[in-house]
Amino acid sequence: MIRDRNPIRRGDDGRIRHIDVPALMQSPDGFARLRSALEELGERLPDREIHDEPPWLIAPETSRDCVLWKVRRGAAALRGFTDWYRTQAPDRRRCFRERYPEPRNWAGFYDSLA
pLDDT tens track for 43-102: 766 666 667 889 998 888 888 888 888 877 888 889 999 999 999 999 999 999 999 999
**Euclidean distance between CA atoms 76 and 46, whole angstroms:** 11
Please report, for the chain, the start and end positions of each structural domain, with discontinuous segments joined by +.
1-43, 49-114
Of residues 111 and 45, the one with the higher pLDDT is 111
